[in-house]
Amino acid sequence: MKRLLACAALIVVALSVTALAATRHYHGAVRRGGSVSFQATIHRGEIRRVHDFAWRNIPVHCDQGFFKARGRFTFSARVNDRRKFRFSGANATSAATAKGRFDLTGQKARGIFRIRGDLEPGTADNCDSGKRHWRAHHGA
C-alpha cells in the first residue's frame, strides 16, 4: 500500500511540474524577404529558453549573385530577465547570428538576423545577408 501511494504521489508531482512548463510557437517575417520561426519554453509564467530558431528564404548577396538561405540553430538560448535572447553559430564556411527581444506580454518578439560566409563553396561564396530585422508572434 505504501508503494502504491508513493507511486501515485510521484505521478501527481510529475504531472504538476509538466503542467508548469509549456511551449509556445512563434512565426514571423523578415524585412525584405524570408521568414523565421522558433519555440519558447515557458516555466511558471516566464519565458525561459528559445529553441529551434529557424530561417527560410533569406535573400543573401554572394559573389555569384543572389541566393536564398535557410537553416536553423540546433541549440537553445537562455532568455534573460529583460526578455532578451541571442544565438550565434558557425560552421567551417559560414556564420549566422540572431538576437531578439520579447514584448511585455510574451506574445510578440522582434530582432535582427544576419548570415555571412560561403553558403555553398564554389557556388555561393563570400555571402552576406546584411542586418535583417524580423518580427514574430505567438500562435501563427
Q: Is residue 12 part of a domain?
A: no
Other CB atoms within a 10 A radius of the CB of residue 134 amount to 20
Residue 119's domain is classified under what CATH number? 2.40.128
Q: Is residue 35 part of a domain?
A: yes
Q: Is residue 113 part of a domain?
A: yes
- pLDDT of the chain along its 140 residues, tens only? 455 444 444 454 444 444 456 999 999 999 999 999 999 999 988 999 999 999 999 999 999 999 999 999 999 999 998 899 999 999 888 999 999 999 999 999 999 999 999 988 888 899 999 999 999 999 85
Output the nine-digit C-alpha cell for 18: 509538466
DSSP for the chain reads: -HHHHHHHHHHHHHHHHHHHEEEEEEEEEETTS-EEEEEEEEETTEEEEEEEEEEEEEEEEETTEEEEEEEE-SS-EE--TTSEEEEEEE-SSEEEEEEEEE-TTSSEEEEEEEEEE-SBTTTB-SEE---EEEEEEET-
Q: Could you tell me the residue range of the domain that residue 103 belongs to?
A: 22-138
Q: Is residue 1 part of a domain?
A: no
Q: Is residue 9 part of a domain?
A: no
Count of structural domains, the chain: 1
